[in-house]
Structure 1
């Protein structure tokens, strides 16, 4: 079985994010990018399937994503059999789906796993768009993938903590919500070894002129609706200030 994990680099949300001068996007020049956390879960689930079945796992990302090489080498360090950096794709979800589909048309996979969403794509569109382009089965919000008698058994989660299992043949596209295990850690020494070994491949795809049909007219910074007040002093002083504040707000009575 050949498993392809479609990955995406996203801005590190712990950093200060600035808008471009025209306020139609975020300024990417000085931002640090990290692997989308749901794609990290997808990679772990693919590696768990590999551990159980001996499947081949290949991580794939787009060259336009900053710091994607680091994420791909990390995937190799964690246990992926290979990694591919694609050129010819775009940044929005439609263009990504087209790029990944063009690659998979050249290098077919039995199973494609990608994160169910990303911080800038909370609607989870990549997996269904990719499945539609490939003409394959698709299941999203998945929290477990196993292989039984050549078929996939996936556990799909619903609201309220409910879930059920589906059995489907390959090929298929999975949008993963969470892996069965915590994503494994790759030491920096192992990542450097992967870089020195040069296991990263590059491929050019012709995704065509894809557009989402949406135009961002303007982005807005979050409005400050309140603030935090910090109290200083010893325990008794801070406790007194808190009680006084609660009295002023009418939460407690004197």
Structure 2
């Protein structure tokens, strides 16, 4: 049996696919969703989080939740998937957090974390690079509840950990997002095929569980000219 927030999310996805909310338009605000579906505000937030996690919407400051894609349809006759954004885990393993990551996660400097690198591609072009850090306690809890070792790319190729965190009882919610622009590093220029004179957008995000403890932090680097920056599960307050 599907949860109430998943049912609401499915109805919103159906509305997007029918064209009621075209790409670039804003979804109804939380207070309207609570009235329309007779649900609690937290349920509405969780439904929006599903759409964001599935790459169908992003949360933009001042604009609300904006549709950035439609749900994938059946395969084309030539068996190729539609040319849309794809997210892949390219590296995952144990590491010791540096001072900045430790501060974001509330750990002692050098605390043990799982470090994951994800690539966002549009077609064949690499458009964004994520670096994720997850505290060891969270990684072990996910493994204990789901059987997935998120430090092992082969064992857990999941590009998004939100569902696994929910199954582990963590109820993740984005608590802080900061964004700034800077000039790209040499490796970023090479990997994303961008000129060194073109600024990149850097997003730092911290995800908390329902008790307020940090469970994940992500740094995303990508072009500020993207129509829909693919932040990781931002959830409106």
Same-fold call, TM cutoff 0.5: no
Please tell me whether Structure 1 or Structure 2 has the larger radius of gyration of its CA atoms: 1
Q: TM-score under structure 1 normalisation?
A: 0.25
Choose between structure 1 and 2 for higher RCO, CA contacts under 8 A separated by at least 6 residues: 1
Q: TM-score, normalised by structure 2?
A: 0.26
